[in-house]
Each structure stands twice: as structure tokens, then as C-alpha cells.
Amino acid sequence: MAETAAPRYGRVLLKLSGEALMGDRKYGIDPETLARIADEIAEVRSTGVELAIVIGGGNIFRGVSGATEGIDRVAGDNMGMLATVINSLALQDALERRGAHTRVTTAIPMQAVAEPFIRRRAVRHLEKKRIVICAAGTGNPFFTTDSAAALRASELKCEIIFKATKVDGIYTADPQKDPTAERIEHTTYQRVLADRLQVMDATAIDLARGSSIPIYIFSLRERGNIRRALLGEPIGSMVSDDVLDEHSTGGAA
């Protein structure tokens, strides 16, 4: 059934962490992991869905960590935004070797390697079934790539944000540290903010709530999960503004 089912969403923003590209390495990009992710994204694209992607840069440099080591926060965040461009170009190369047409757009102008993010142009790329990779965050320091993902999803009128992570959803506590942590299948933006659940930062949640864009959190570790999420299979946790569903989420911290 899943093989012939139609995608539940027509336009999706996929948020990938930079760490997702590391595989078992301590930093950088693992070619095998990059290839696997590109295979999945190319397969999803073949279903006809319009796909935008935002990638973090934590596998190369993280501005907040740099600030603790004596690097100015603004300089560190700028370095982190440039790291997202490196990851975006790597993913573009992997996707195009699989026949998927892509465009890398950047919030910081660098015409030699990518085109600047212009909303109307990016929408046109999506309509032409090109994968749009949005790099360099928001172009401003002090904003995370989670915030960039929510911003781009709002601008591009995406129906949902897919956040592919290392865990299979939202938990009441860190499941790696607390064996009693419970998975929450569906909750609201307000509860995420009030209970400080580890989904996205507050700015990203507020942006998504303002545009009524749901966020779906699922694990990238299991092959095929991006497609499963697109088909609406229950493999993760949903955040939306539907208050009625909050009562079915189970016990929260």
C-alpha cells in the first residue's frame, strides 16, 4: 500500500541538522551518509512533492560553541552560516548526481557558488519541481537554522516542516539520559514553549505558530523515514495549533 500511496503534502520544508551528515565521524561530512540521505531525498522528490531544504552547519562549526572558546559571537555565527553553505553544496552535488535538479540559495550573497534567496524565484523553482536548498540561515547572527527553517517555510508557503533528527519524536525528557521519558505523539506550539520541550528554539516555534505550519519530528536513522513521513505514516511527533489533540499526547513533564 505504501508504495502506491500518494504523498499527504504537496510542498514540504525538510530541516536537516549538520550533524546528520557526519555519520559516525566526529566532524565533517561522511560520504556514505551523504549518499544515503541524497538517495532518500531523490526518491521523495520523484513522488512529485515540492521540496525545500534547510541544513545546519554544526558538523563544521557552531557559533555558540565558538563563543565559549573566545570567538566573538557575531563572527562565530557568520562562520556557522558559511558552514551551512558548504553542507548545502555537498548535498546539491550528491542530489544532482542522482538526477535531481536543485538550486542552492543563500541569505548571504555569494553569486559565485549560489544564487541569492529571492522568495518569488525560489517559489518558481519549486513549481518547476526543483529542490531548493536554502543556505546561510537567515543571513543574521543570533538566529539558528531552526529559525531559518521556520522563516523559509513561511515565506515559501510550505504545508509542513519535517525536522529529521537522531530521535524518533518529542520526549518528556532526554530518552538517552532518562529511561522513564515518554514519547509525545501530538502536542501544541504553546505546550512546546511552556514545557521547554526540545523541538526547535522559541523563535522558530513562534514563527511556525504565526503561519500555522505544523512541525513533524522523526528519526533520520531509519532508511525510508522521509518517505514514510510524507505518506503520513505515524513514525514521529507532530506539533500544531490543534488544541483538541493535546489531550491525547500522554503525560508531559
Residue 5 belongs to some domain of the structure = no
The pLDDT value recorded for residue 23 is 85
Under 8 Å between Cβ of 42 and 100: yes
Share of the chain above pLDDT 90, in %: 74
CA distance 26 to 233: 32
Query: What mean pLDDT comes out for the span 227-250?
Result: 75
Residue 253 belongs to some domain of the structure = no
Give the model confidence (pLDDT) of 171-181 as tens digits: 988 888 888 88
Residue 4 belongs to some domain of the structure = no
Residue 219 belongs to some domain of the structure = yes
Which long-range CB contacts under 8 A does 31-37 form with residues at least 24 apart? 34/90, 34/91, 34/94, 35/94, 36/223, 37/91, 37/94, 37/220
Number of Cβ atoms within 10 Å of the Cβ of 23: 16
Q: Is the pTM of this model over 0.85?
A: yes
In this prediction, residue 244 has a pLDDT band, given cuts at 50, 70 and 90, of very low
Residue 2 belongs to some domain of the structure = no
Residue 6 belongs to some domain of the structure = no
In this prediction, residue 252 has a pLDDT band, given cuts at 50, 70 and 90, of very low
Number of domains in the chain: 1
List the grid coordinates of 249.
499526547
Give the model confidence (pLDDT) of 48-105 as tens digits: 999 999 999 999 986 555 555 778 989 999 999 999 999 999 999 999 999 999 999 9
Residue 1 belongs to some domain of the structure = no
The mean pLDDT of the chain is: 90
Q: Is the pLDDT of residue 243 over 70?
A: no
The pLDDT value recorded for residue 1 is 40
> What CATH code is carried by the domain that includes residue 127?
3.40.1160.10
The pLDDT value recorded for residue 3 is 52
The alpha carbon torsion through 74, 80, 82, 85 (nearest 10 deg) reads: -150
Q: Is the pLDDT of residue 248 over 90?
A: no
Contacts of 216 (CB under 8 A, 6+ apart): 160, 161, 162, 163, 229, 236, 237, 238, 239
Strands 215-219 and 237-240: antiparallel
- CA 183, 207, 54: angle at the middle one, nearest 5? 75
Q: Note down the domain range covering 36.
A: 11-248
Q: Is the pLDDT of residue 192 over 80?
A: yes
The pLDDT value recorded for residue 116 is 97
Residue 57 belongs to some domain of the structure = yes
